[in-house]
Structure 1
Amino acid sequence: MSIDEELKGAGLQQRTCLLIYLYNVGDQYKLRKYGDIVYFSKKMKYCVLYLDSEEANKVKNELAHLDFVERVEFSDEEDVDLSSSHIEQQIADMAKEAEIKLQSKNEDLLK
C-alpha cells in the first residue's frame, strides 16, 4: 500500500508540493496566502509550498502569472518509491558496495 492510499484511508487531506522559483528573495512572503511555506532558499531563490491537491493546478497557473515568480514546478516527491521492499533493496546494494570498497582498500594496504 502506498503512502497516498494510506492517507486517503485515514481521511487526511491530500497535499501537493510546488517548487516556486523567485526573482527576488523578499517576495517569498507574498506566497503565504496560497499555502504553507515549508522551506525557502535565499541562495537559490526558491520556495517549497504545500497546498491542497484539489487546488494545485489552479494555484500553479495563478503563481506562474505573478510578476515576481520566475517559474513554478510540481515536486517529484510522488514519484519516489517508498515501499519497504525497495528501501531494503537499496540498503542491501549499498552494503555490498561498501564491502567491495573495504575489501579493495584492505588488499591495497596488504600490498
Structure 2
Amino acid sequence: MSINQDLENTGITKRLSLIVHLRSASDQYKLRHFGDIVYFSKKLRYCILYVDKKDAKQIINEISSLPFVVKVESSKEESIDLGSDHIEQQITDLAQKAEDKLQKEQEKNKDQL
C-alpha cells in the first residue's frame, strides 16, 4: 500500500504544493490568502505554496491571472513511487552498479600490473 492510499483512509485533507514564479520578490506576501507559503527564494523569485487539493485548479487559475505572477506549476510528487518494493529495487540496482564498477576497476588495476 502506498503512502497516498494510507492518507486517503485517514480522512486527512489532501494538500498540493504549487511552485509560483514571481516578477518581484516582494510580491510573495500577496499570495498568503491562497494557501500556506512553506518556502520562498528571494534570489530566484519563487515560492512554494500548499493549497487544498480539491480547490487546486481554481486557485491555480486565480494565481495565474495575477499580474505579478510569471507562471504556476503543480508539484510532481504524486508521480513519485514511495512503495517499499520500488525503493528496494532501486537499492538493489544501485548496489549492482557499484559492484560492477568495482569489478571493472579491479580488472583495470590487474591489467596495469
Task: Give the residue type in structure 2 aligned to 1:13.
Answer: T
Question: Number of residues paired by the alignment?
Answer: 111
| C-alpha distance after superposition, 1:4-33 (max 9, x if no partner) | 221121121111111111111121121111
State the shift of 1:108 in Å: 2.6
Structure 1 vs Structure 2: percent identity of aligned residues? 50
2:72 matched to 1:69?
no
Cα distance between partner residues in 2 of 1:16 and 1:94: 31
In structure 2, what residue type is equivalent to 1:10? T
What is the alpha-carbon distance in structure 2 between the residues aligned to residue 108 and residue 38 of structure 1? 50
Q: In structure 2, what is the Cα distance between the partners aligned to 1:45 and 1:109? A: 50
Name the structure 2 match of 1:94. 94
TM-score, structure 2 as length reference = 0.89
Q: Which runs of 4+ in 1 moved over 3 A?
A: none
Query: Structure 2: any 5+ residue segments left out of the alignment?
Result: none
Deviation at 1:103, TM superposition (A): 1.8
Question: For 1:85, what is the secondary structure of its paired residue?
Answer: helix
Is residue 55 of structure 1 aligned with residue 58 of structure 2?
no
- Name the larger-Rg structure: 2
SS of residue matched to 2:67 = coil
CA-based RMSD of the aligned residues comes to 1.3
TM-score, normalised with respect to structure 1: 0.91
